[in-house]
């Protein structure tokens, strides 16, 4: 919504952004048990809001929180698809609430909003991300080198950079990991995101820790748990070819070449 | 109370993963029974004949049709998975390959079922 659009909105109908009514069906989780509920109760609650065609699911959640029910809990930070805080299951699919327009979701039917699956729910749409971050830490997501530090930057050709370009786009929103059917049933699995994070360093010509990471991923809970369901690739809000990255790690392990 | 969450709306890849797992488990149990009934021949050939005779009933005929369906799906989806693991082209076109698998499945079953069901119900 631009400032000009808002101005014309208040003065005349010319150029006005059309509004519509939309119902959000939110899966809530009440850890404290308020209003006579049991502690930890889960229930669906419907909210109806007026929305603009330019509004995203996040705007509707804001409207609910600010005008209807302040107890609704969800994470968001930048609200523009960069920080990766507001991944949630919208109409049964993982997406970022800040990148999903309401008008693209068939607003004539209630839009379901649930927390991402496979991580413990803390309240409403907020999950405990710690198991997810723990997997990321396991693959050592930092530059590992040997020898003395060079006086100037470590050079790399555009071709060398292109090898891991795709996996540098990750914002760690967990949409991929919590879309993975293997992750839902097996909490031990590192999950797609950790493998994407490892891929970013394994195929970086400046890094020398690739075999340490590949060893971690060769584990029972590593890349071999991937069943190529492609839910991760389809869920990624950054368009990373997650399954392809996992496949490249598998190939490095089978061929012994990076 | 804990209401049922929605079913994750995955696409072809997720459903084929489910098909692959289901057919795989079904084939495993068939093989288990098959190994047991075949090993009966060492115990008593009469008992073996009796058990094998049961396969000629129409109910087993239908189960056999299901078995062939499971094996055809599992086999061709297995080839799809190998292709996806091996070639980037297949990885990027995996959804289309799902429909290729189903296409082959339909053709093979169309060739197999009339003949098989003719044997089962025609009393040949």
Chain A positions touching B17 (Cβ under 8 A) are 181, 227-229
Mutation target among A24, A36, A230, A254 for the B interface, most CBs of B within 10 A: A230
Chain A residues closer than 8 Å to B89 by CB: none
Given a cut of 60, whether residue B45 has pLDDT beyond it is: yes
Mean pLDDT of B22-38: 94
Helix (H, G, I), strand (E, B) or coil at A237: coil
Q: What share of chain B is helix, strand, coil (3-state, %, to 5)?
A: 85, 0, 15
Q: How confident is the model at residue B32 (pLDDT cuts 50, 70, 90)?
A: very high
Best of B1, B7, B14, B88 to disrupt the A interface (most A CBs within 10 Å) is B14
Instruction: Give the Å distances, CA to CA, from A194 to A88, A108, A183, A203.
Output: 19, 38, 12, 14
How many angstroms separate the CA of residue A234 from the nearest CA in chain B?
8
Measured CA distances, A39 to A43, A46, A221 (Å): 12, 20, 33
Binned at pLDDT 50, 70 and 90, residue A9 comes out as very low
Show contacts of B81-88: CB within 8 Å, 24+ apart: B81/A228, B81/B20, B84/A228, B84/A243, B84/A247, B85/A228, B85/A247, B85/A250, B88/A244, B88/A247
Q: What does the DSSP assignment read for A50-69?
A: EEETT-BHHHHHHHIIIII-
A112 touches chain B (CB under 8 A): yes
Can you tell me which residue has the tokens 């800040």?
A98
User: Domain ranges in chain B?
Assistant: 56-124
Per-residue pLDDT at B52 exceeds 60? yes
On chain B, the residues whose CB falls within 8 A of the CB of A93 are 8-9
Contact B84 A247 (CB under 8 A): yes
CB-CB: which of A44, A92, A227 is closest to B8? A92
Give the whole-angstrom CA distance, residue A176 versus residue A179. 5
Residue B1 has pLDDT above 60, yes or no: no
Average pLDDT (A48-77) is: 97
CB contact under 8 A, A43 and B3: yes
Residues near B5 by Cβ (< 8 Å), separated by ≥ 6?
A: A27, A89, A114, A117
CA-based nearest distance B27→chain A, Å: 18
Among chain A residues, the shortest Cα distance to B6 is held by: A92
Task: Please state, for a pLDDT cut of 90, what percent of chain A lies above it.
Answer: 88
pLDDT one-digit tens code per residue, B60-100: 999 999 999 999 999 999 999 999 999 999 999 999 999 99
Domains of chain A: 3-127 (3.10.20.30), 130-144+154-255 (1.10.1060.10)
* Contacting A residues, span 151-170, partner chain B, CB-CB under 8 Å: none
Orientation of helix A242-255 relative to helix A210-217, angle to 10°: 100
Q: How much of chain A exceeds pLDDT 70, in percent?
A: 95
CB within 8 Å: A93 and B9:
yes
Going from the C-alpha of A240 to that of each of A84, A121, A174, A234, B71, the distances in angstroms are 14, 26, 13, 9, 34
Q: Would the CB atoms of B14 and A181 count as touching at under 8 Å?
A: yes
Among candidates B5, B7, B13 on the partner chain, residue whose Cβ is nearest the Cβ of A229: B13
């Amino acid at each position: 919504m631009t400032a000009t659009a808002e101005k014309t909105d208040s003065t005349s109908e010319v150029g006005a952004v059309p509004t519509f009514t939309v119902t959000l069906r939110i899966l809530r989780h009440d850890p404290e048990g308020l209003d006579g509920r049991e502690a930890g109760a889960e229930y669906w609650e419907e909210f109806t809001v007026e929305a603009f065609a330019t509004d995203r699911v996040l705007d509707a959640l804001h409207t609910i929180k600010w005008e209807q029910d302040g107890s609704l809990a969800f994470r968001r930070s930048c609200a523009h698809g960069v920080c990766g805080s507001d991944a949630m299951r919208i109409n049964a699919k993982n997406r970022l609430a800040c990148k999903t327009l309401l008008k693209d979701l068939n607003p004539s039917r209630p839009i379901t909003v649930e927390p991402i699956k496979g991580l413990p729910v803390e309240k409403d749409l907020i999950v405990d991300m710690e198991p997810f971050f723990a997997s990321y830490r396991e693959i050592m997501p930092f530059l590992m080198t040997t020898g003395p530090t060079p006086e100037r930057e470590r050079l790399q050709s555009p071709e060398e950079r292109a090898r891991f370009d795709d996996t540098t786009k990750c914002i760690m929103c967990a949409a991929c990991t919590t879309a993975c059917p293997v992750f839902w049933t097996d909490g031990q699995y590192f999950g797609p995101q950790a493998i994407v994070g490892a891929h970013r360093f394994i195929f970086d010509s400046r890094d020398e820790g690739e075999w340490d990471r590949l060893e971690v991923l060769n584990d029972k809970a590593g890349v071999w748990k991937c069943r190529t369901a492609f839910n991760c690739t389809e869920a990624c809000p950054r368009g990373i070819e997650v399954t392809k990255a996992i496949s490249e790690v598998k190939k490095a392990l089978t061929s012994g070449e990076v | 109370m804990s209401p049922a969450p929605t079913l994750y709306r995955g696409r072809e890849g997720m459903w084929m993963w489910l098909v692959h797992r289901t057919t795989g488990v079904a084939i495993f149990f068939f093989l288990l029974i098959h190994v047991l009934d075949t090993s009966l021949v060492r115990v008593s050939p009469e008992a073996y004949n009796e058990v094998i005779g049961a396969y000629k009933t129409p109910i087993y005929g239908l189960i056999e049709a299901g078995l062939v369906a499971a094996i055809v799906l599992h086999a061709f989806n297995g080839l799809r998975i190998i292709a996806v693991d091996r070639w980037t082209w297949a990885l990027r076109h995996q959804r289309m390959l799902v429909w290729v698998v189903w296409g082959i499945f339909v053709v093979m079953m169309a060739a197999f079922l009339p003949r098989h069901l003719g044997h089962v119900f025609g009393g040949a």
